[in-house]
Structure 1
Amino acid sequence: MAFKTKEQAAAYWKANIRLMLTLLAVWFVVSYGFGILLVDLLDQVRFFGFKLGFWFSQQGSIYTFVVLIFVYVARMNKLDRDFGVQEDDS
Structure 2
Amino acid sequence: MQLTESQKQYWSKNVRMTGFLLAIWFLVTYVVGFSARELNFNFFGWPFSFWVGAQGALVVYVLIIAYYAHYMNNLDKEYGCAEEEED
Which amino acid in the other structure matches residue 70 of structure 1? A
Q: Does 1:40 align with 2:37?
A: yes
- Structure 1 residue runs of 4+, over 6 Å off? none
- Asked if 2 retains the 8 angstrom alpha-carbon contact of 1:31 and 1:56, the reply is no
Q: Does 1:11 align with 2:9?
A: yes
Q: Does 1:29 align with 2:35?
A: no
Q: Does 1:50 align with 2:46?
A: yes
Which amino acid in the other structure matches residue 39 of structure 1? A
- Asked if 2 retains the 8 angstrom alpha-carbon contact of 1:45 and 1:51, the reply is yes
Provide TM-score, normalisation by structure 1. Answer: 0.79
- Once the two structures are overlaid, the 10-residue window that deviates more, 49-58 or 67-76, is 49-58
Which amino acid in the other structure matches residue 16 of structure 2? R
Q: Which ranges of structure 1 fall in alignment gaps of 5 or more residues?
A: none
Question: How far apart are 1:45 and its partner, in Å?
Answer: 4.4
Provide TM-score, normalisation by structure 2. Answer: 0.82
Alignment: residue pair count: 84
Name the SS for the 2:57 alignment partner: helix
Q: Percent identity?
A: 35
* C-alpha distance in structure 2 between counterparts of 1:14 and 1:50, whole Å: 43
Instruction: Choose between structure 1 and 2 for higher RCO, CA contacts under 8 A separated by at least 6 residues.
Output: 1
